[in-house]
Amino acid sequence: MRSLLLIASTIIGYTLLRGWPADWHPIIRVCLAVSVLVIAFSLWDRHERPASQTATPTRSPLLLDYLAIGTTILLIECFFLVFLSLAPSRSEKLALALDESLHPEVYQSITEPDSAKKTSSSPSSSGNSRITSNWLFSGPGPRSLNKNDQVIPSNRPELYLFPDSAEDSALLLTTELYLRNFTLATYQDGHWFPKATIPRTLTSTNFTITIPQRKPGPSITYELSHPANSLGQTLAVSIPDFSSISLPSLREIHPATFRLPSSLIKDHNYRYQVTSTPFSFDQIKKDRITPALSPAPEYLTLPDDPSLRQKIQTLASTLGPPSRDSLLKLRKLLHSRYRYSLNLNMPQDADPLDSFLFNTRAGYCTHFATATAMLTRALGIPSRIAFGWSGGRYFKSPNLFVFRAREAHAWTEIFLEDLGWVIFETTPPSRQEGASSLADSGESPPIADFITDSEEDHSPELLAPLLKAALWLGLASALILITLLLIRRRSAPISPSSPTQALLPPSPHYLAAFRRACLAHGQPMPLGRTLRRHLSEIQAPHFTQQLLNYHYAVHYGQVPKNKLTEKKILSKLKAWEKSAKRDQPQK
């Protein structure tokens, strides 16, 4: 039964530490898990022991003892609270610093602001890794091209954007609005995977992380609010490309893919301020464009299938050499010959890209973005695909853009000289969710409770007050514990003269009387000597043989105690002790 209780408590503790119930604060779950395990181990150790002569405490537990135990448990929980809140981030920084000191050449290649022309030979530029981050509306894992699935858009609001001013709102309404969540670089067997890189941590200065941008045009400042992902990591969202973001730190786990710090979650949601410079291919005024040297080989890699690769190269050759005109021809080709559809009917055994380009010619944004990425690579232009949202519905009164699940979108980004990554949209306008829409005057925005306060104070560490309270509570617990120990020490009884004596079970009263009588006759019984041996070495009265037989029968022969016999033996021992005192004057 005790083992079953211990197993059940372990399962409960593990479930709490894994994040269930999701609506409970992590600190509450940690403290509760520790309490459950402590209680379970205490109960598990309680069991009936076989009757035997064992050492017993010299007194019963007092109130001070229970207070000391409770204060100790409270102090341990405060320690766990502070440790689990601060240790992970510190350990991560220490590990990164150690790895950077061991491999400085690798970190040099990914920390340069303008590393596009330097990382083609970097060790981090090769290889693939299956992404473990998640898209807020899709779940974890690599992205795949669907073949026969029917996509049913949801009307659920997923993200909220607050422009900083009316001018920013007007500028967003006149441009194609994209919100990027993450990018992928490698296409294999109908799946997209991210480019494998060494993660790096971006730290803030005055709670602001700044990244220099090469995009021309005005900048826009805005606030984003979205729920945290309960299944794992939550990625940052921004208009490509952001120049500053108000966060204490940001973890770049893949190119243009940033993981938000979990310490900023408040009520299961994130809210942060960003400044970006919106820019797309259509804003390029000059007729000539120059593809830049690829940041990594992945951005020019075509499918492994030789037949599909040859067909893509043949189709791309009809567009002419890489130029602005060839890219416009590519967009026109996809708009005129291919159909946007959420209902797919592709052969099960065929590559979905092959089916889309050369068979069914129907698909949605992910298929158009994939086809564009492969065709631009065949032209010699580095490319990747990005996932996020586009469009949004604007509500004038609260100055708010609302993005729903149906506005989830994938698009292509190409790498150009002097501009970097540029959005190149080729999904047909029939998608109907690409452009921002203006809400009617009487229409109310679907705003959740957590974003109603647009003047929310963004503290660098939302857990700071809780950690400070835990530190003070731990200090108070330590002082109380020390005080209780001092009080208990002062009131504790005097310890026995011999440590060995404190560990022995209490002697029977007749045996204690025998020791006193032996001492009175000048023949003390040493500690540890058995009764039989001591009687064989001293001159003792004849009745002591009765004492020896009774003592061994009770303690080793399982004979029940006899109070009358003990009383007679005790009376004779007292008389023997008195006889020694009567003989002392004669000596």
DSSP 123-150: GGGS-B-----EETTTEES-EE--SSPB
Query: How much is the mean pLDDT over the chain?
Result: 78
CB 273 within 8 A of CB 246: yes
542 pLDDT tier (thresholds 50, 70, 90) = confident
Residue 302: predicted pLDDT: 95
Which residue, among 12, 7, 65, 2, has the nearest Cα to 34 in the 3D structure?
12
10 Å Cβ neighbour count for 209?
19
Average pLDDT over residues 291-299: 89
CB 41 within 8 A of CB 24: no
Residue 197: enclosing H or E segment and its boundaries? none
The residue ranking higher by pLDDT, 272 or 50, is: 272
CA dihedral 270, 271, 275, 277 (to 10 degrees): 60
Which residue, among 192, 239, 186, has the nearest Cα to 217 in the 3D structure?
239
Q: What does the buried/exposed string (b/e) look like for 552-572 if buried means 16 or more CB atoms within 10 Å of the residue's CB?
A: eebeeeeeeeeeeebebbbeb
Length of the chain equals 587
Q: What does the buried/exposed string (b/e) look like for 338-375 if buried means 16 or more CB atoms within 10 Å of the residue's CB?
A: bebbeebebeeebbbbbbbbeebebbbbbbbbbbbbbb
> Mutual orientation of helices 544-556 and 563-583 as an angle, nearest 10°?
140
CB 436 within 8 A of CB 391: yes
Question: What distance in Å separates the CA atoms of residue 573 and residue 521, rounded to the nearest whole number?
Answer: 12
pLDDT digits (tens, 9 = 90+) for 66-97: 888 888 887 887 777 777 666 665 676 676 66
Of 107-116, 183-192, 220-229, 472-481, give the lowest mean pLDDT range.
Answer: 107-116
Average pLDDT over residues 455-467: 47
Average pLDDT over residues 211-227: 88
Residue 311 has pLDDT above 90, yes or no: yes
Q: Hey, which of 354-363, 464-473, 561-570 has the most confident mean pLDDT?
A: 354-363
Question: What distance in Å separates the CA atoms of residue 436 and residue 403, rounded to the nearest whole number?
Answer: 10
Average pLDDT over residues 164-189: 90
